[in-house]
Amino acid sequence: MDNNFGQISLTFVQIFHMQISAKELSALLNGTLEGNPDVMVTGPSKIEEGIPGTLTFLANPKYEAYVYTTKASVLLCGTDFVPSSPIAATIIRVENVYGSIALLLEKFASEVSSPTGISSQAFVDVTAVVGEGSSVGHFSVIEKNAVIGKNCTIHAQVFVGENVIIGDNVTLHSGVKIYHNCRLGNNITLHSNVVIGADGFGFAPQEDGTYKKVAQIGNVVIEDDVEIGSNTTVDRATMGSTYIRKGVKLDNLIMVAHNVEIGENTVIAAQTGIAGSTKIGRNCMIGGQVGIVGHILIADRTKIQAQSGIARTIKEPDTAWYGSPAIDYADFLKAQVVFKKLPELQKRIQELEKALKAQEADD
Q: Which residues are catalytic?
A: 258
Positive or negative torsion for Cα 70, 71, 77, 83: positive
Cβ atoms within 10 Å, residue 133: 14
Q: Is 136 exposed, middle or buried (0-12, 13-18, 19+ CB in 10 A)?
A: buried
Length of the chain: 363
Please state, in angstroms and rounded to a whole number, the distance separating the CA atoms of residues 121 and 5: 36
Please state, in angstroms and rounded to a whole number, the distance separating the CA atoms of residues 245 and 358: 68
Please state, in angstroms and rounded to a whole number, the distance separating the CA atoms of residues 2 and 106: 18
Q: String of b and e for 30-65 (b: at least 16 CB within 10 Å)?
A: ebebbbeeebbbbbbbbbebbbebbbbbbbeeebee
Strands 285-286 and 267-268 come out as parallel
Q: String of b and e for 176-191 (b: at least 16 CB within 10 Å)?
A: bbbbbbbbbbbbbbbb
Please state, in angstroms and rounded to a whole number, the distance separating the CA atoms of residues 106 and 249: 18
Please calculate the CA angle 50-16-49 and round it to the nearest 5 degrees.
10
